């Protein structure tokens, strides 16, 4: 079986107020989002209307990721996944949300959560 076509966005940066600690709800911090959308088959044509417009998708993901204040990056990853799955041609998506400035008691380069979601068959 052939592997489906994919669209990847890596390193999408959003400044937001997500986290469980009170200071995270006040002070914005950087979140970095990577996603890989597996696409449903499409016609072999050079027409943007036959695929996912990754510019528009990036804008929608950034808007959803920057809204409100969530406690968990797992919830943020779920919101991003559902945004991607709202696209007709997206069959599945893998989302990784990085929180490189997470307030931890020991130094770490990054904290990340990855999820995979699929549309029902």
Q: Could you give the residue numbers annotated as active site?
A: 99
3-state secondary structure 79-109: HHHHHHHCCCCEEEEEEEEECCCCCCCCCCC
Q: Which distant-in-sequence residues (6+ apart) come within 8 Å of 105 by Cβ?
A: none
Contacts of residue 84, defined as CB under 8 A and 6 or more positions apart, other chains included, come to 35, 37, 57, 61, 90, 93, 95
């Amino acid at each position: 079986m052939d592997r489906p076509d994919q669209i990847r966005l890596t390193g999408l940066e959003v400044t937001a107020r997500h986290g469980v600690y009170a200071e995270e709800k006040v002070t914005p911090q950087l979140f970095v989002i990577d996603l890989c959308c597996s696409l449903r088959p499409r016609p072999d044509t050079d027409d943007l209307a036959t695929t996912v417009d990754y510019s528009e998708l990036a804008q929608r993901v950034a808007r959803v990721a920057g809204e409100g204040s969530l406690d968990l990056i797992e919830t943020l990853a779920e919101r991003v996944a559902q945004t991607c799955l709202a696209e007709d041609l997206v069959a599945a998506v893998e989302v990784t949300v990085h929180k490189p400035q997470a307030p931890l008691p020991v130094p770490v380069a990054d904290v990340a959560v990855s999820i995979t979601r699929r549309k029902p068959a």
